[in-house]
């Protein structure tokens, strides 16, 4: 069963920053990054409890091939996944704390 995925508004900015940066490095690399993020979100949607808890109800999943982490929570009562951030591993992971 796939659960619906909700992205908090800031996640769009996180994703766009990554896409732009990778496209500046090499043509089409931003698209590859985007596809890797979508693939990871699909895994999360199919099995939201697969990844380890980081803090309280927040889980994190690494994006394959790219040094990014997706921070999310599974709202069991509402049967949905809420993505709080998609951040480069070198960034402060607490950025998502004010997002949801």
Total tally of structural domains belonging to the chain: 1
Give the tens place of pLDDT for each residue, 33-75.
999 999 999 999 999 999 999 888 999 999 999 999 999 999 9
pTM for the predicted model, two decimal places: 0.92
pLDDT above 80: residue 100: no
Give the 3-state secondary structure of residue 17.
helix
Q: In this structure, what CATH number is given to the domain that contains residue 67? A: 3.30.2310.20
**Pairwise CA distance, residues 24 & 45, whole Å:** 30
Query: Residue 25: helix, strand or coil by DSSP?
Result: helix
For 10-14, 47-51, 66-70, 92-96, which range has the lowest pLDDT when averaged over its residues?
Answer: 92-96
98 in any annotated domain: no
Cβ neighbours of residue 26 closer than 8 Å, sequence gap 6 or more: none
């Amino acid at each position: 069963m796939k659960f619906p995925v909700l992205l908090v508004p800031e996640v769009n900015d996180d994703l766009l920053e990554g896409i732009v940066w990778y496209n500046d490095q090499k043509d089409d690399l931003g698209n590859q990054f985007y596809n890797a993020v979508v693939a990871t979100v699909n895994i999360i949607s199919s099995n939201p409890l697969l990844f380890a808890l980081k803090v309280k109800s927040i889980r994190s999943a690494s994006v394959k091939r790219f040094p990014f982490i997706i921070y999310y929570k599974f709202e069991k009562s509402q049967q949905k996944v809420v993505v709080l951030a998609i951040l480069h591993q070198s960034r402060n992971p607490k950025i998502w704390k004010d997002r949801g």
